[in-house]
Amino acid sequence: MAPDLIVLRLGELVLKGKNRHRFEKTVYEQIRKKLQPYDRLTFQRDFGRVYITLNGEPYEEIALRLKTILGLTSFSPVFTAPLELEAVQSVALEAMLKIGRVPDSFKVSVRRVNKSFPYDSQEMNQRVSAAVLRAIPGLKVDVHRPEVELKVELREERALIYSQVEAGAGGFPVGTNGKAMLMLSGGIDSPVAGFLAMRQGLRIEAVHFHSYPYTSERSQQKVKDLVGKLSEYGGDIKLHLVPFTDLQTRVHQSYNQNLLITILRRAMFRITEKLAEANEAMAIVTGESLGQVASQTLASMNVIGRAVDLPVIQPLICMEKQQIIDIAETIDTFAISIQPHEDCCTLFLPPSPSTNPNLRVVMSIEKQMAWLEEEMDRAAQMTETVWIHAGQESKFSSFF
Ligand code: ATP
Ligand code: MG
């Protein structure tokens, strides 16, 4: 027995009034867009929910697509039955069996919308539970903390029955909270930071610094692949590829001591800020996690962050590496991130990078590089921008 429809719950219960309306409208548009290829589907909106009638379209494929929609909290495959006691009992049992394992406990929750149905919801709870208990030995009823809640809605024309709740990606629909620039390396962390930012409703544009020809075309392709994964959630994403070699070489020639990395990182932030201004973004997102590597001490981040006026958002700042890796696996970026690549930042590594830079010292070194501002402007101007589209062939994640 295949489900007949899907009920979708749109998220963020904290939202009220106008915001809520805008939120739901945007998620609904995303749903329609993602499911466009399935032209037999029909849609119905209803107070924070969407009902999709499958009309024979494949549930499993559609479920995978639904899991990439931000702002969608959860959804359930729904089975329908005619409004007759026995039919409802037998479909309810099927819905329980569909779970694929025998849960420890369950409870039936009947909602009688159609008041002409002969049994009230209390009576129906008992009659449906009894039928399920008879057929599944070992199952118990627990009304307080059931492992599975079997829901039965007695509507005007038919009964809707479901037991499974699949988690959606949650969060806010993309773009409802503004736009930010994501500093994206080829590593594990920054794509995860980008995903979390998108899930918080930010539209992102990715900025990647490369030191071509010291870093290969391949490492740029890797970044494009990562953006491709993110675009499964956020729609098409702009990727800015910044040529960093000239600036790096010039800085390196005039200063090669322990503050080199700090200075180069500040330059990266400044260039990102220039691109943000040109593209009307209002924040910078990075993948730093406190204490993870030498440059991610509080002192370092302080000196680097002060290179810019825009707020710097660091979604991973208090996360453990394993948590970050788990998310990377869920969104399917991990396998790409661990492919070997050269990072522009490792091009000129000073003998012992500072973990405790001093802002005044850093600024006085920068002052001596009178040409620095010009080099940064040039890097921003020479930046190549490409659109990355959500690839049809990409594997969708299915772990939420
Ligand atoms: P990641 O796994 O994201 O590479 P990381 O743990 O390697 O992070 P760092 O190399 O210190 O940490 O980089 C910190 C952050 O700086 C990255 O998360 C990313 O946001 C940004 N960043 C680093 N290298 C680049 C780059 N080549 N282009 C754009 N942003 C970068
Ligand atoms: Mg890195």
Rounded to the nearest whole angstrom, what is the distance from the C-alpha of residue 356 to the centroid of ligand 2? 19
Closest ligand to Cα 183 = 1
Q: Give the pLDDT confidence score for residue 140 in this predicted structure.
A: 95
CA-344 nearest atom, ligand 1: 27
Q: Which has the higher per-residue pLDDT, 184 or 344?
A: 184
Closest ligand to Cα 315 = 1
Q: Which residues form ligand 1's pocket by a CB distance below 6 Å?
A: 183-185, 187-190, 207-209, 286-288, 292-293, 295-296, 343-345
Contact 10, 40 (CB under 8 A): no
Task: Give the annotated binding-site residues for ATP.
Answer: 183-184, 208-209, 265, 287, 296
CA-265 nearest atom, ligand 1: 16
Check whether 22 has a pLDDT greater than 90: no
Q: Give the pLDDT confidence score for residue 120 in this predicted structure.
A: 95
Residues 266-292 pLDDT 10s: 999 999 999 999 999 999 999 999 987
SS (H, E, C) the chain: CCCCEEEEEECCCCCCHHHHHHHHHHHHHHHHHHCCCCCCCEEEEECCEEEEECCCCCHHHHHHHHCCCCCEEEEEEEEEECCCHHHHHHHHHHHHHCCCCCCCEEEEEEEECCCCCCCCHHHHHHHHHHHHHHHCCCCEECCCCCCEEEEEEECCCCEEEECCCEECCCCECCCCCCEEEEECCCCCHHHHHHHHHHHECCEEEEEEEECCCCCCHHHHHHHHHHHHHHHHHHCCEEEEEEECHHHHHHHHHHCCCCCHHHHHHHHHHHHHHHHHHHCCCCCEECCCCCCCCHHHCHHHHHHHHCCCCCCEECCCCCCCHHHHHHHHHHCCCHHHHCCCCCCHHHCCCCCCCCCCCCHHHHHHHHHHCCCHHHHHHHHHHCCEEEEECCCCCCCCCCCC
**94-108, 149-163, 171-185, 386-400: the lowest-pLDDT one:** 386-400
Average pLDDT, the chain: 92
Of the residues 184, 190, 220, 316, which should be mutated to test ligand 1's pocket, given the most ligand atoms within 8 Å of the CB? 190
pTM of the complete model? 0.88
How sure is the predictor about 395, in pLDDT bands with cuts at 50, 70 and 90? very low
Check whether 186 has a pLDDT greater than 50: yes
Q: Which has the higher per-residue pLDDT, 146 or 1?
A: 146
Check whether 295 has a pLDDT greater than 90: no
How sure is the predictor about 394, in pLDDT bands with cuts at 50, 70 and 90? very low
Rounded to the nearest whole angstrom, what is the distance from the C-alpha of residue 185 to the centroid of ligand 1? 5
Closest CA to 315 of 151, 157, 200: 200
Rounded to the nearest whole angstrom, what is the distance from the C-alpha of residue 340 to the centroid of ligand 2? 11
Residues 339-366 pLDDT 10s: 988 777 777 777 788 889 999 999 999 9
Q: Taking residues 37-41, report their average pLDDT.
A: 97
